[in-house]
Amino acid sequence: MTKTVIKLNDISLNFPKQRNPLTIFLDFIKKNDRKFKALKNVSVEIKQGEVVGIIGRNGSGKSTLLRVISGIYPPDTGEVLAAGDISLLAGLGTGFSGHQTGRENALLYGSILGHNEDEMREKLDEILEFSELGEFIDEPLRTYSAGMKARLGLAVASAIHPHILLIDEVLGVGDPNFKEKSKAKILSMVKGASTVVIVSHSFGLMTDICDRVILLHHGEVMHDGSPQESIKKYYEIVGD
């Protein structure tokens, strides 16, 4: 298993700064380049079957990198190549509507995540069972507690089986009891998916499950190696 499934070739991504007519004019005469460089010449190659972690301080470009891989932001320079379907797991329950029932929201969220109708009908029973919502499933979502919403979100999200799974800080939602269950579920998804890229601040978890950890700092790859080494480097950077 040495086939490359994700390949980032020297990608850069800039975010424009909010502008108004005055700043546009000032930038023009001062020849300012008011852009925030979120990723600078990042080159990463990920092989099939790898579990890769990404660490770095807040705002170092971790989430942006996952968004570039999933196609949310096209890179400004360089190219992104990937093989197979990609799924980004971030912010469970995107698009939930408080006025619809749990069941309708499950279908809605499933379709947002890219399932078609047949797949969703097929998976609905499994989803409802995992969510442990019982009779609440046909109540409007606004009557749910935060934990119940999280459970429903995870239940739907974990029903996908992509080739490449990107996880952005979704571990540890809900009450302690469910937290364990959700962690177990995500870990089983990690094992089930062939390739995983995970962003997390939980270094213990990273050391446990990742084969490799990439350290990002100000949008640049500072280190790419074993979890222990990268975490050590991280503390060196944060220290100074």
Partner 1 sequence: MDESQVAAPVLRPIGVKSNPLFAPVHTISEVHKNRFLVRNLIRREVRSRYRNAALGYAWTVIEPALLASVYWFLFIMLSGNPDEMYAVWVLIGVIVWSCFSKCLNAATNSLTKNMRTIHLVYFPRSIFPVSGVGANIVVTLMSCMVILPIIYIYDMPITVHMIWIPVGVMMAGFMALGLGMMMAPLNCVNRDVEHLVRFITRAGFFVSPVMWTAEMAMERGAWGEAALWNPMVVPITVVRHGLEGKTVDLPIEIIMASVVASIMFYLIGSMVFSRYERGAVKYL
Helix (H/G/I), strand (E/B), else coil: 108: helix
Helix (H/G/I), strand (E/B), else coil: 153: helix
* Nearest CB to partner 1, comparing residues 95 and 225: 95
- Per-residue interface string for the shown chain with partner 1, residues 171-200, x marking contact by CB under 8 A: -----------------------x------
Question: 53 forms bridges with which residues in the sheet?
Answer: 198, 213
* Nearest CB to partner 1, comparing residues 88 and 152: 88
What is the amino acid identity at position 198? I
Q: Which stretch binds partner 1 (CB under 8 A): 25-33, 52-60, 115-123, 201-209?
A: 115-123
CA atoms within 13 A on the CB side of 165: 25
Instruction: Round to whole Å and give the CA distance between 190 and 167.
Output: 9
Q: Residue 83 interacts with partner 1 (CB under 8 A)?
A: yes
Q: Residue 41 interacts with partner 1 (CB under 8 A)?
A: no
- Smallest distance from partner 1 to CB 15, Å: 5
Q: Residue 99 interacts with partner 1 (CB under 8 A)?
A: yes
- Sign for the CA dihedral angle at 35, 40, 45, 49 comes to negative
* Nearest CB to partner 1, comparing residues 141 and 214: 141
What is the amino acid identity at position 8? L
Q: Which stretch binds partner 1 (CB under 8 A): 108-116, 125-133, 173-181, 228-236?
A: 108-116
| Structure tokens, 147 | 């934990």
* Nearest CB to partner 1, comparing residues 55 and 166: 166
Question: 168 forms bridges with which residues in the sheet?
Answer: 90, 199
Helix intervals (H) in 100-175: 102-112, 117-131, 146-157
Q: Which residues bind partner 1 (CB under 8 A)?
A: 3-5, 7, 15-16, 18, 48, 67-75, 79-84, 86, 88, 90-91, 94-95, 97-100, 104, 107-108, 111-117, 120, 161, 163, 194
